[in-house]
Amino acid sequence: MSNADAFAARKATLVARLAAEGGGAGIRKHSSSNLFRYRPRGGAHAAIDLRDFNHVLRMDAQARTLEVEGLATYEAIVDATLPHGFVPLITPELKDITIAGATVGIGIESNCFRHGFVHDGLLEAEVLLADGRIVTCAPDNDHADLFQALPNSYGTLGYILRVSMKLMPAAPYVHLETTPCRGVDDFLATMQTATRRDDVDFIEGMAYSGKRLFVTIARFSDAVPRVDDILRENIFYKLVERQRDVCLTTKDYLFRYDPEWFWNIPESWPYRLFRRLAPESMRRSGFYKRYSVFKNRLLSALPWRAREREEPLIQDWEVPWEKAAELMRFAMSEADLSGKPWIATPIRPGRAPTLYPVAPGELYFNLGCYCQVRKRPEKGDYYYTKVIDRKCFDLGGVKMLYSSTFIDEDEFNRIYNGAAYSALKSKYDPEGKLKTLYEKCVLRNV
């Protein structure tokens, strides 16, 4: 059976199952989720089983396009395309992120200054609607409104079963060069200047303080003098600061934060041993995510719990480039990341998605933070998230919604184009079978 026939058969099975059993407000999938809600999510709910929709269907090297099912992970996609000298325009940095998750949840990487967000590389999507119909949406067909609204919809308008996406040529290696910066202004100027250079493929900055910050500029390369090991020997984010030149295979570069789940694997001796000896299947973010969910469930079942001194600060914010210095200075003066870095990258959006208000062609500054911070008990829970979100919104910015958010529904609707969303919801999910974006991303039901 061809891949196209196999996909058609999977769709027919799905439609028949939904007709017999009804739908659900969430999905089941093989790979681990990269949603991050600070508090445990609501109880069990009926879920649509999309586990089989994870295949790469067809690559057209001539046209530089790829057809892939929605639940295919970026690792599966890169494994299928890189041997032929191609990768997606944007490859999010964790192996288990899926093409659909990164589309509906906003996907970024260190080359967003050139190619925009993940959704900017999307050509078409086949979407399962709440009533069981499957529609194909594209920028110029009858469902163009759905296509434009997929980014930041988090599955509340329907579930993506298949996409067609753009690819770009990729060399086998990536050569990285890191430059220390004198301060926030130098850091931002170094990144902005690099966005204008044709010989630069990737730009990323890390900042520990106003005095310890650096920018890494990277480019594809056909040959490198050596290949650095970031699975066992080195921890990526430490290596780039220590060693001006770093050479990686392209796959290692694209998923450079996966072995350490950014910087969330401790450096105490048991973990050093783990880093050296654990099988590769355990040295990946998907394993750590499952392990941390299991550990948190276990801890929350204990009759007594130690007072929590720390809380997560796991967020991504985008502000117009001219507001970058203000956001950065504010965030760094408010939150102490206990030796972990802030991460930053420039982004130039290609389109204006309906539910993620960014201006196409304008340069944005993305600031990310993925670690635990010490609580300030006198300020209440999640103080840092709340104040940095507020600053970001006040600066005309927007934040991704994969983590926790604490704003009221009116403000949420003002920021994320609630009026257009209501119209789309009435059209594509008139019975409200799926949750709303606010319910899903702020009230954290599913």
Ligand X SMILES: Cc1cc2nc3c(=O)[nH]c(=O)nc-3n(C[C@H](O)[C@H](O)[C@H](O)COP(=O)(O)OP(=O)(O)OC[C@H]3O[C@@H](n4cnc5c(N)ncnc54)[C@H](O)[C@@H]3O)c2cc1C
For ligand X, the binding residues (CB under 6 A) are 27, 33-36, 50, 70-71, 92-94, 97-98, 100-102, 104-105, 107-108, 154-155, 159-160, 314, 370, 402, 440
**What is the pairing mode between strands 310-320 and 245-249?**
unpaired
Distance CA 241, CA 152 (A): 33
In the block, tokens 């890169």 appear at 78
Q: Count, in order, helices (H) and strands (E) of the chain.
A: 15, 16
In the complex with ligand X, which residue's Cβ is closer, 271 or 322? 271
Q: Name the 3-class secondary structure at 125.
A: strand
* Buried/exposed code over 36-45 (b: 16+ C-beta within 10 A; e: otherwise): ebbeeeeeee
Closest CA to 157 of 433, 439, 411: 433
Least distance in angstroms from the C-beta of 332 to ligand X: 20
Q: Given CA atoms 119, 29, 385, 409 in this order, what sign does their dihedral have?
A: positive
How many residues belong to the chain?
Answer: 446
Choose between 224 and 230: whose C-beta lies nearer to ligand X. Answer: 230
CA dist 432 and 66 (Å) reads 33
Tokens, residue 440: 């899903």
Q: Which one, 7 or 370, has the nearer CB to ligand X?
A: 370
Cβ contacts of 120 within 8 Å, gap of 6 or more: 89, 90, 349, 350, 351
Measured N-to-C along each axis, helices 324-334 and 383-394 cross at an angle, to the nearest 10 degrees, of 160
Nearer to ligand X, 105 or 205 (CB): 105
Cβ-count burial of 320 within 10 angstroms (0-12 exposed, 13-18 middle, 19+ buried)? Answer: middle
Residues 132, 137, 142, 146: is their CA dihedral positive or negative? positive
Report the alpha-carbon distance of residue 423 to residue 143 in Å, rounded. Answer: 13
- Rounded to the nearest whole angstrom, what is the least distance from the CB of residue 248 to ligand X in the complex? 16
CA–centroid distance for 401 within its chain:
10
Q: Which is nearer to ligand X, 253 or 402 (CB)?
A: 402
Question: How many of the other CB atoms lie within 10 Å of CB of 189?
Answer: 15
Minimum CB distance to ligand X, residue 179 (Å): 22
Q: How far is CA 163 from CA 67, 172, 281, in A?
A: 6, 25, 28
Nearer to ligand X, 28 or 379 (CB): 28
CA dist., res. 223 & res. 227, Å (int): 10
Strand pairing class (47-49; 310-320)? unpaired
Judged by beta carbon, residue 246 or residue 343, the one nearer ligand X is: 343
Q: How far is the CB of 25 from ligand X (least distance, A)?
A: 9
Residue 173: CB minimum distance to ligand X, A:
21
CB of 399 to ligand X, least distance (A): 12
What distance in Å separates the CA atoms of residue 124 and residue 103, rounded to the nearest whole number?
12
State the minimum distance, in angstroms, from the CB of residue 11 to ligand X: 13
Residue 269 or 316 having the CB closest to ligand X: 316
Closer by beta carbon to ligand X, 320 or else 368: 368
CB contact at 8 A, 210 and 183: yes
Q: Are the CB atoms for 424 and 146 separated by under 8 Å?
A: yes
Q: Which is nearer to ligand X, 224 or 287 (CB)?
A: 287
Nearer to ligand X, 108 or 215 (CB): 108
**Distance in Å, CB of 283 to ligand X, minimum:** 16
